[in-house]
Structure 1
Amino acid sequence: MIRVLFVCLGNICRSPMAEAVFRHLVKKEGLQDKIEVDSAGLGSWHVGNPPHRGTCDILDQHNISYDGLVARQFQTEDLHQFDYIVAMDNDNIAGINRLKRENPRAQVAKLMDFVKEARESEVPDPYYTGNFDYVYSLVTEGCQALLEHIKADKGIE
Structure 2
Amino acid sequence: MRCPYCDSTRTRVIDTTQSASGVRRRRECKGCQKRFSTMERAILTTPLLVKKDGRREEFNRDKLISGLRTACARRPVSADDLERLVDRVESQIRQMGKSEVPSRVVGDLTIEELEALDPVSYVRYAIVYLGLEDLEAVRAEIDRLLDEGSAG
| TM bin (shorter chain) | under 0.3
> TM-score with structure 2 length normalisation?
0.26
Structure of higher RCO (CA pairs closer than 8 Å, 6+ residues apart): 1
- Rg: which structure is higher? 2
TM-score, reference length from structure 1: 0.25
Normalized per residue, the structure richer in strand is 2
